[in-house]
Amino acid sequence: MPRSLRVSHECIEKVKIAVTRNGYPHQRALAHDTGLSLATVSNFLTGKPVSYATFEELCCRLNLDWRQITTTNEEVTSISSTKNIQICKKKPEFQDWGTAVDISAFYGRSQELTQLESWILKDSCRLVALVGMGGVGKTTLATQLTKQIQDQFDYVIWRSVPIIPSFDSMITDLLSFISNHKERKPDINRLMHYLRTRRCLIILDNLDTALDVGNTEYIQLIRIIAETNHQSCLIFSSRYKPAEITVLEFPKLPVCCFRLSGSPEIAFALVQSKRLLGTDKQKYELCHLYGNNPLKIKIVANTITNFFNRHIGRFLEEDTLLVSNYIKRLLEQQLNPLSHIEQKILYWLAINPDLTNIADIEKSIVFTVSKSQLLQAMEELYSRSLIEKKRGKYILLPVLLEYVKDRFK
């Protein structure tokens, strides 16, 4: 089976007409309906190569025969004549999605998906870390990414780390699945054998829950997968970037880390979907206050609906940030692992928003800390997406700033 297909030059106009004829006023509508990135749909419509499964799915949606519109080549012709191909069959034969979330309403993140897909399929990354604050959409993005690239792998297996009984049980589980139930013991050497001989995509969601309790076996697994030659890929999501990933990120090792931030596009769309009342300016202000974090936006939107009759302006007039119990728990998960020094520095940054560099921070803090400790603490806070630097200043997102000032004062 060919890895990718493209619309022939003479059929591009025919395909564009089919888009309109099937009720899609523009490319974005087709992308939203199929769950594909806008860039992928654009590539298909302009005659650029897309994955085999993607080509089939789009042809199904547009009621087109892929064999009549694709660029003619001997490989495709041969396959067409020797196999009875099911046009819409796109999934790998062996897959186990575990507790992966429903993404039927996924939208946005087209640039992020394009970059991640390029790392995995073009650059052959063996290890991809997806990091960001809780609620920012790591799990949803990882699910959509897996859906888009699944046809490039023989085996797909998704596991949520918080519900895995033990590291050994996970290795046994992976081995049993990839070996077609021939292996029944937790042997990393055997796992690597199968990752070399078969093309596997493994997703470990919420890996930080294991790292926070000092489970070093997962770090060892990460190192082995990064440093050992094989044809598979491990994607993991985490609230922060493990220090070991920084060491592994060198040109000779196919390891990549994507730092996921809040999405203004998704946040605004969520506000729209909740039918909140207000000007676009008020809606964007609300999204900014909550860091364009989809989960936090959903929570505050419910409050505005229930107590402010859906009026954003009335909520903003209160001049206070809602830090609900759910948001508090979300932030506590992010802050509890911090050291005493890291917590103090975070508070000091919250009450001194004009600090611009390490030297300023060192001069301003009122407790004793060495420069080495300060640098380590700042690095840890950045790795956990708790601080950012914009316009030359260290900043905390508004809702985090409010919570930190109250908790650590």
Q: What is the pLDDT of residues 337-394, one digit of tens each?
A: 888 888 888 888 888 877 667 777 777 776 677 888 888 888 889 888 888 877 767 7
214 vs 137, residue with greater confidence: 137
Q: What is the pLDDT of residues 47-87, one digit of tens each?
A: 888 887 788 778 877 878 777 788 634 344 333 333 433 33
Output the pLDDT for position 146. Answer: 96
Radius of gyration of the chain (CA): 24
**Which pTM value belongs to this model?**
0.73
Which of helix, strand or coil describes residue 155?
strand
One-letter amino acid for residue 33 of the chain: D
Q: Which contacts qualify for 70-77: CB closer than 8 Å, 24 or more apart?
A: 70/5, 70/6, 70/7, 70/8, 71/5, 71/6, 71/7, 71/8, 71/9, 71/47, 72/8, 73/2, 75/2, 76/2, 76/5
281 vs 322, residue with greater confidence: 281
Output the pLDDT for position 30. Answer: 82
Q: Which residues pair with 264 in a beta bridge?
A: none
Residue 160 pLDDT greater than 50, yes or no:
yes
Q: Kindly list the structural domains of the chain, giving each domain's residue range(s) and its CATH number in brackets, ordered by start.
A: 4-82 (1.10.260.40), 94-259 (3.40.50.300), 264-322 (no CATH), 329-407 (1.10.10.10)
Q: What is the pLDDT of residues 162-182, one digit of tens each?
A: 999 999 999 999 999 999 899
